[in-house]
């Protein structure tokens, strides 16, 4: 929260409420509904909550069912308290800036509890999907959820054609070769080249990467400008950082490869390659 104090002048100017978002979260971002909710209750802050199956992994929010006024927070509770967690989307009135000093500050631990005690903090329940995408495994899950929502709302944005299965998003500047089967749940970035005979499932391929022919990828993140060789098999949340080269005919199983590495040997069991 400390950084908000850095932007104090910019945020206070005009006196309007402002949104604050955790960037490692993906959902359908209900900005209009959240702004409306915030104006209605008139309190100093609103945050979005979402239901999860395993609330103990997160910070749990306890609030009044009818008004949404937040009573208290419990961080990673050991017994079941509530299944609603802080989704990392907020809207605040400028008054909150008086609570925040320019120093490292945890908004959940230091700011919110005081606001909740004063009855100034309200929770709005999120509709639709939500995912904390800080870990590669969850990033891919979040990607799948996003694509599913896109299919429901803007199916025309998804890629279709021969060799495309399920929800697939392809940048217009990407090139996909002959006899490929792409999808389900694949996103392909700008300038990516996928050569002939490639099979990709449940992957993110970032800008400028090249996947050479006959390779097979499932549940991977391929970083910017990577080069994946021919007849490579990558699976089980293999993550390639920027500018990684994977030689032909290798097998990568759960490899986490730091940027600018060349991989010349198979990685049959999950490990980190520095």
Given the complex with other proteins, which of 94 and 184 has the nearer CB atom? 184
Q: Closest distance between other proteins and the C-beta of residue 216, in Å? A: 5
Touching other proteins, residues 179-198 (CB under 8 A): 179, 196-197
Given the complex with other proteins, which of 75 and 265 has the nearer CB atom? 265
* Identified binder of other proteins from the candidate list 251, 258, 261, 273, rule CB under 8 A: 251
Handedness of CA 18, 24, 29, 33 (dihedral sign): negative
The CA distances from residue 28 to 132, 145, 224, in Å, are 13, 10, 26
* Alpha carbons 254 and 30: distance in angstroms, whole number: 35
Given the complex with other proteins, which of 96 and 168 has the nearer CB atom? 168
- The two tokens of residue 133 are 């995408």
Q: Closest distance between other proteins and the C-beta of residue 245, in Å? A: 18
* Alpha carbons 62 and 71: distance in angstroms, whole number: 6
Residues 223, 205: contact at Cβ < 8 Å?
no
Residue 76 known to be catalytic: yes
Given the complex with other proteins, which of 145 and 200 has the nearer CB atom? 200
- The two tokens of residue 207 are 């800008």
Q: Does 231 bind other proteins (CB under 8 A)?
A: yes
Touching other proteins, residues 92-151 (CB under 8 A): none
Residues 89, 34: contact at Cβ < 8 Å?
yes
Strand pairing of 220-222 and 238-240? parallel
Q: Does 199 bind other proteins (CB under 8 A)?
A: yes
Residue among 57, 76, 109, 157 flagged as catalytic:
76
* Identified binder of other proteins from the candidate list 18, 29, 129, 216, rule CB under 8 A: 216
Q: Does 265 bind other proteins (CB under 8 A)?
A: no
* Identified binder of other proteins from the candidate list 166, 233, 242, 247, rule CB under 8 A: 233
Q: Does 213 bind other proteins (CB under 8 A)?
A: yes
Given the complex with other proteins, which of 259 and 268 has the nearer CB atom? 268
* Identified binder of other proteins from the candidate list 82, 83, 148, 230, rule CB under 8 A: 230
Element spanning 252, H or E: strand 251-253
* Identified binder of other proteins from the candidate list 139, 235, 238, 239, rule CB under 8 A: 235
Residues 123, 46: contact at Cβ < 8 Å?
yes
Residues 186, 192: contact at Cβ < 8 Å?
no
First to last CA, the chain: 33
For 32, counting Cβ atoms within 10 Å of its Cβ (0-12 exposed, 13-18 middle, 19+ buried), the class is exposed
Positions annotated as catalytic residues are 76
* Residues making contact with other proteins (CB under 8 A): 179, 196-197, 199, 213-214, 216, 218, 230-231, 233, 235, 249, 251, 268
């Amino acid at each position: 929260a400390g950084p908000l104090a850095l932007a104090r002048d910019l945020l206070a100017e005009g006196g309007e409420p402002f949104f604050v978002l955790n960037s490692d979260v993906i959902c359908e971002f209900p900005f209009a509904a959240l702004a409306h909710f915030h104006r209605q209750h008139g309190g100093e802050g609103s945050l979005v909550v979402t239901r999860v199956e395993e609330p103990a992994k997160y910070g749990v929010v306890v609030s009044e069912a009818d008004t949404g006024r937040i009573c208290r927070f419990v961080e990673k509770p050991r017994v079941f308290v509530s299944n609603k967690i802080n989704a990392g989307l907020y809207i605040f009135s400028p008054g909150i800036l008086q609570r925040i000093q320019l120093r490292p500050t945890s908004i959940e631990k230091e700011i919110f509890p005081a606001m909740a005690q004063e009855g100034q903090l309200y929770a709005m329940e999120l509709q639709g999907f939500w995912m904390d995408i800080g870990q590669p495994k969850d990033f891919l899950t979040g990607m799948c959820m996003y694509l599913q929502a896109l299919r429901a709302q803007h199916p025309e944005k998804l890629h279709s054609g021969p060799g495309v299965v399920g929800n697939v998003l392809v940048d217009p500047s990407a090139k996909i070769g002959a006899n490929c089967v792409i999808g389900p749940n694949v996103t392909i970035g700008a300038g990516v080249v996928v050569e002939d005979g490639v099979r990709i499932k449940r992957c993110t391929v970032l800008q400028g990467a090249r996947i050479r022919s006959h390779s097979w990828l499932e549940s991977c993140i391929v970083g910017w400008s990577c080069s994946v060789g021919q007849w490579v098999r990558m699976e089980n949340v293999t993550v390639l950082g920027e500018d990684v080269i994977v030689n032909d005919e290798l097998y990568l199983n759960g490899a986490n490869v730091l940027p600018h590495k060349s991989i010349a040997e198979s990685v049959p069991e999950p490990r980190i390659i520095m």
